[in-house]
Structure 1
Amino acid sequence: MSMDLFDPRVDMDSDDSHLSDGNFGFAFNDSNFSDRVLRIEIVAGIYDCHPDAEGVCTSISDWACLRKRRREDVKKEDAPGATVCPDEQILNQHDMDDCDGSENLEEAFAVVEESPSGDEADSGNESNWSTDSSTVLRVNTLHISSPILAARSPFFYKLFSNGMKESEQHHVTLRINACEEAAFMELLNFMYTNTLSANTAPALLDILMAADKFEVASCMGYCSRMLRSIPMTPESALLYLELPSSVLKVEAVQPLTDAAKQYLAARYKDIHKFQEEVMALPLAGIEAVLSCDDLQVASEDAVYDFALKWARMQYPALEERRVVLGTHLAKFIRFPYMSCRKLKKILTCNDFDQDVSLKLVVEALSFKAESPHRQRTLAAADDSAPRRFIERAYKYRPVKVVEFELPRQQCIVYLDLKREECTNLFPSGRVYSQAFHLGGQGFFLSAHCNMDQQSSNHCFGLFLGMQEKGSVTSTVDYEFAARSKPTEEFVSKYKGNYTFTGGKAVGYRNLFGITWTSFMADDSPFFINDILHLRAELTLRY
């Protein structure tokens, strides 16, 4: 057959679009429509063990256990002093999880050339590709169409068009392990029919792995779509995220890994409710959880504390923990929304490399110093995966705090509320700020929708509260202010002084002296670009 059929100008990355509507099932293993014979030698490998007696993984957990054993066996083989002969090493090389799907045909599926001998050498029409002298359990012989396989797979394209005399010979021999036989046969059938008979997650995962090794991107996409149609579990989601790197890099598999991340993020968005489960997650799982915008947490401080606790439990060795925190988890923690008090602690936290912690804190403080408009611009422009400038739906609203020690202890607190947040307060809701500190005591702001006692109309109120309960007291001069234009100064609304006893609060039920309807009107002067800007100035009395 002329090798012009395998034009090197064919785009092998086109995901078989030119064959997407073709079904060549009639030609599968039919000598009338085939130009070669594929001899598949099935050998017993060290991985040919399955959880059940029939040699089939029936559940995701079985499949995960099998893959784990394979990885552990590979590590044992690679360990110093391991006694593995070169031929055995070649035979089992394709089972290593880090195999690169773009390797050449001699490496991608552990096929090596053997010189023909005896009658085969005389006939000159057989190419014998095998791996070693392992005992062959059985042999499958199929009639194949090299143009169909070459069009679907760069692996077969290179096998049939490598310019060597073997590429023009009639017989080709491949050797695979017994545990991969079913998946490989399904893969061959897919290259003819564009469909699979397998419909269970373990079987589809086996085919996905085979498709990766033989570089059949269209089959990888098909398996990815089928797996997404199967109800996901925490176990399966983690398994999808921990597939070999060669699989995860394939564009067709990205929707599957994205769905796995979304599943874990949705399931564990209340990280404290599922604390034990989340603490037991591997790195890929905790990254998916921390990337969620909808985490149900009090503040970003809580996210940081949780990530630090997880890292200390999972990585007791300091140097390894520093790498995981600095390289992996730090990009999922939104440091710009952490309190300044917590940011100070990061600078002295031994779990972070000093250069890393300094960079994170400087970036966070720089973001805090920006105007709200500039912050929104930075957040909108942040198209990176971790989305470090995107604010989560915190239980307590972030605040900006400016602290002074002289001439008296004083702090100025800035609280911005979105119009939709204010809308959600009606008719009797409350929203609380993050805590801030003055004179060693913790305080917070709370915005309310109240009923005006005189007019019986709803109105917007603002209060200042003290965190500590008990007999602790502090006397504070306070002033509440707001602004209606970005270029104007804050206008004072109320001021006074109050002696706080633990758990008490002071404030005004109708901060602006108008009804809720007027406050929330479209032409309301209190919202700048749908943001309400509030300021509270506190000075400690001695």
Structure 2
Amino acid sequence: MEPDFSHPSGDPSFEFAFNSSNFSDRVLRIEIVPGPPEIRSDAVGGGGTSSFSWAGHRKRRREEIKKETEFKVYNSGHILDCNQPDIEDGVADENQDGEAVAMIEESPSGDEPSQCSDSSGSMDCSPVPVKSVYISSAILAAKSPFFYKLFSNGMQESDQRHATLRINASEEAPLMELLSFMYSGKLSNTSPSFLLDVLSAADKYEVVSCMKHCCQLLRSLPMTKDSALLYLELSASISMASAVQTLTDAAKDFLANNFRDLTKPQDGIMDLPLVGIEAILSSDNLQVASEDVVYDFALKWARRHYPNPEERKEILGSRLCQLIRFPFMTCRKLRKVLINTDLDHEVASKSVLEALFFKAEPPHRQKTLAAARDESSNNNSNSNRSYVERAYKYRPVKVVEFESPHPQCIVFLDLKREECAGLHPSGRVYSQAFHLAGQGFFLSAHCNMDQQGSWHCFGLFLGMQEKGSVSFTVDYEFAARARPSGELVSKYKGSYTFTGGKAVGYRNLFGIPWTSFMATDSPYFINGVLHLRAELTIKQPQQLQTC
């Protein structure tokens, strides 16, 4: 049978040369040290065991492991430890952190190595199982920086034929599968738990191509809540987190999509660990009334999982506050942020101050700041998206309030073109609530039929939140920004006496059909945004009745 020299990725395949003396220049001796059985999780396959046992078992100080690969050399019966401090007797024979220990032998000794332990003054020695594999140093070095360093570290012994790795018993099968992959580019066992073991081995020996292949296979499996949480733990349990970025991104999307509506009670959402909550709160597509809801949810979750006030303050300040988009919270809620004892005062003050400065910026400047922060987030995984607006049920507004000579407020509402397009044929969108003289109001944009029922058109209404028996008169004015001047042009003004729950407005604010309003050359969409303004004034404050 002719050998197959290619594999699905298009790269040449050397499967025929794996463990073949005819195509190998070295022998890899694998010393298998007995150890505790590997802790695996069935979470990937939908089993009931904990999804964090696997990831937690592999957590180690990777920053130390990756500083420089250790190469230990047998020379004249002694172990030469290069670029490392002296090691006490017995320590060199152990692989405490699960790191890869590589050794080059000058020549085979003929004697099997042994593992000895001294307990209560007696010496107990037992032979260590050894597996020998024929390898090509060129193939392994091309696929793995670890093996490249091993075979080119400048020592005389690097030219010798035998190299030795010492591993735990639980690592044998994943390592053999990894070595085979470096030749063939494929895996023979694709069970979920085994793929995770191979992924760990590929990370240890720096075989990025295998890590990406494992991630691709895992992504093709049906994802569950437990498996998604397990994948999010990978970044903490391996060193090359970028190699599994596609898998962790898929896990984040899964959790964000399954728990996107924070306005409804959802089974299990309050039981999610921190990594799950971070995945949800980082989503742009949360279905929430406003950012106030996100803030309240984060507080509720933190109080449940971190009853200790200091721990709660630390988690909120260092992890969750970065995911709350304070610039889109209402001013009333921002005032509560400043006095919340769950938050570090410095963190709360900084967040509120940045939010208020953002709110004070004109719309074009806000858009520039959001774009700059978004670009920074794409280039730096540690950056947040605090200036990026979510798909809120109630659209954020900017409010300027005056107390004299009459209670007055000016409200600015921006709607994107795609948001307006989504209103057709009978939709509506509401603004966040704003307050005038203690009473709550809101704006609502509608797609209506005109009074004659001839065409669809854009309407804007002012509503009062129903709050008992309140009745008072408000002067109002609606305006919109239009080209070419770019100024806010008054459309309608009038006076209206509100009672609880009533609203006033205009079915066709611009006096044109919907198709003309939404046309590509429409003068009302400046840079794809419709800018609206409502000005309210109470000239008879004595009519205001508090509830």
Q: Shorter-chain TM-score: what band?
A: 0.7 to 0.9
Q: Could you report, residue by residue, the CA deviation over 1:464-499 in whole angstroms, capped at 9, with x for unpaired residues? A: 111134323344332222332485653333333333
1:64 aligns with 2:51: yes
Q: How does 1:204-353 map to 2 (within 5 A)?
A: 204-245=195-236, 247=238, 249-273=240-264, 275-353=266-344
The one-letter code of the counterpart of 1:197 is S
CA RMSD of aligned residues (A): 3.2
SS in 1 for 2:229: helix
Structure 2 residues not aligned, in runs of 5+? 1-8, 79-104, 118-125, 378-383, 543-547
Of stretches 153-162 and 281-290 in structure 1, the one that deviates more from structure 2 is: 153-162
Among 117, 120, 133, the residue aligned to 2:116: 133
Distance (Å, rounded) in 1 between the aligned partners of 2:458 and 2:113 = 79
Structure 1 residues not aligned, in runs of 5+? 1-18, 72-94, 118-122
TM-score (norm 1): 0.81
Query: Against the structure 1 CA distance between its residues 51 and 204, is the aligned structure 2 distance closer, same or farther, given a 3 Å change threshold?
Result: closer
SS in 2 for 1:105: coil
Shift in Å, 1:124:
5.3
Shift in Å, 1:57:
9.6
1:86 corresponds in structure 2 to none
Contact (CA 8 Å) 1:451, 1:458: kept in 2 or not?
A: yes
Distance (Å, rounded) in 1 between the aligned partners of 2:269 and 2:144 = 40
Shift in Å, 1:211:
1.0
Q: Could you report, residue by residue, the CA deviation over 1:157-186 in whole angstroms, capped at 9, with x for unpaired residues? A: 333333445434433332222221110110
SS in 2 for 1:133: strand
1:44 aligns with 2:26: no
SS in 1 for 2:28: strand
Of stretches 364-373 and 95-104 in structure 1, the one that deviates more from structure 2 is: 95-104
1:116 corresponds in structure 2 to 77
1:105 corresponds in structure 2 to 69
Query: Against the structure 1 CA distance between its residues 478 and 183, is the aligned structure 2 distance closer, same or farther, given a 3 Å change threshold?
Result: same
Q: Could you report, residue by residue, the CA deviation over 1:360-392 in whole angstroms, capped at 9, with x for unpaired residues? A: 222222222222222222223331333322222
Distance (Å, rounded) in 1 between the aligned partners of 2:406 and 2:271 = 48
Distance (Å, rounded) in 2 between the aligned partners of 1:44 and 1:23 = 33
Among 142, 148, 152, the residue aligned to 1:161: 152
2:509 corresponds in structure 1 to 511
Query: Against the structure 1 CA distance between its residues 259 and 491, is the aligned structure 2 distance closer, same or farther, given a 3 Å change threshold?
Result: same
Shift in Å, 1:317:
2.4
Contact (CA 8 Å) 2:262, 2:293: kept in 1 or not?
A: no
TM-score (norm 2): 0.80
Contact (CA 8 Å) 2:232, 2:251: kept in 1 or not?
A: yes
* Identical-pair percentage: 63
Tell me the matched-pair count: 489
2:426 corresponds in structure 1 to 428
Q: How does 1:336-375 map to 2 (within 5 A)?
A: 336-375=327-366
2:182 corresponds in structure 1 to 191
Shift in Å, 1:505:
1.5
Distance (Å, rounded) in 2 between the aligned partners of 1:447 and 1:124 = 81
Among 390, 393, 396, the residue aligned to 1:392: 390
Distance (Å, rounded) in 2 between the aligned partners of 1:238 and 1:523 = 47
The one-letter code of the counterpart of 1:401 is V
Contact (CA 8 Å) 2:401, 2:408: kept in 1 or not?
A: yes
Query: Against the structure 1 CA distance between its residues 333 and 115, is the aligned structure 2 distance closer, same or farther, given a 3 Å change threshold?
Result: farther
Higher helix share: 1
Shift in Å, 1:296:
1.1
2:81 corresponds in structure 1 to none
Of stretches 149-158 and 425-434 in structure 1, the one that deviates more from structure 2 is: 149-158
SS in 2 for 1:330: helix
2:24 corresponds in structure 1 to 34
Query: Against the structure 1 CA distance between its residues 361 and 139, is the aligned structure 2 distance closer, same or farther, given a 3 Å change threshold?
Result: same
Contact (CA 8 Å) 1:238, 1:284: kept in 2 or not?
A: yes
Contact (CA 8 Å) 2:464, 2:501: kept in 1 or not?
A: yes
Query: Against the structure 1 CA distance between its residues 189 and 462, is the aligned structure 2 distance closer, same or farther, given a 3 Å change threshold?
Result: same
Distance (Å, rounded) in 1 between the aligned partners of 2:153 and 2:33 = 26
Distance (Å, rounded) in 1 between the aligned partners of 2:432 and 2:195 = 48
Query: Against the structure 1 CA distance between its residues 147 and 292, is the aligned structure 2 distance closer, same or farther, given a 3 Å change threshold?
Result: same
Contact (CA 8 Å) 1:129, 1:174: kept in 2 or not?
A: no
Of stretches 507-516 and 209-218 in structure 1, the one that deviates more from structure 2 is: 507-516
1:177 aligns with 2:168: yes
Of stretches 381-390 and 182-191 in structure 1, the one that deviates more from structure 2 is: 381-390
Shift in Å, 1:97:
3.2
Shift in Å, 1:433:
0.6
The one-letter code of the counterpart of 1:46 is P
Of stretches 391-400 and 237-246 in structure 1, the one that deviates more from structure 2 is: 237-246
Query: Against the structure 1 CA distance between its residues 375 and 317, is the aligned structure 2 distance closer, same or farther, given a 3 Å change threshold?
Result: same
Distance (Å, rounded) in 2 between the aligned partners of 1:27 and 1:321 = 56
Query: Against the structure 1 CA distance between its residues 204 and 169, is the aligned structure 2 distance closer, same or farther, given a 3 Å change threshold?
Result: same
The one-letter code of the counterpart of 1:98 is R
Contact (CA 8 Å) 1:131, 1:175: kept in 2 or not?
A: no
Contact (CA 8 Å) 1:414, 1:533: kept in 2 or not?
A: yes
Distance (Å, rounded) in 1 between the aligned partners of 2:526 and 2:40 = 64
Q: How does 1:389-468 map to 2 (within 5 A)?
A: 389-454=387-452, 456-468=454-466
Query: Against the structure 1 CA distance between its residues 219 and 396, is the aligned structure 2 distance closer, same or farther, given a 3 Å change threshold?
Result: same
Shift in Å, 1:204:
0.9
Shift in Å, 1:223:
1.4
Q: Could you report, residue by residue, the CA deviation over 1:98-129 in whole angstroms, capped at 9, with x for unpaired residues? A: 3345243338xxx7869738xxxxx9513899
Query: Against the structure 1 CA distance between its residues 97 and 232, is the aligned structure 2 distance closer, same or farther, given a 3 Å change threshold?
Result: farther
The one-letter code of the counterpart of 2:376 is S
SS in 2 for 1:226: helix
1:81 corresponds in structure 2 to none
SS in 1 for 2:386: coil
The one-letter code of the counterpart of 1:116 is G
Distance (Å, rounded) in 1 between the aligned partners of 2:158 and 2:402 = 80
Shift in Å, 1:434:
0.6
Q: How does 1:84-103 map to 2 (within 5 A)?
A: 95-100=58-63, 102-103=66-67
Shift in Å, 1:208:
0.8
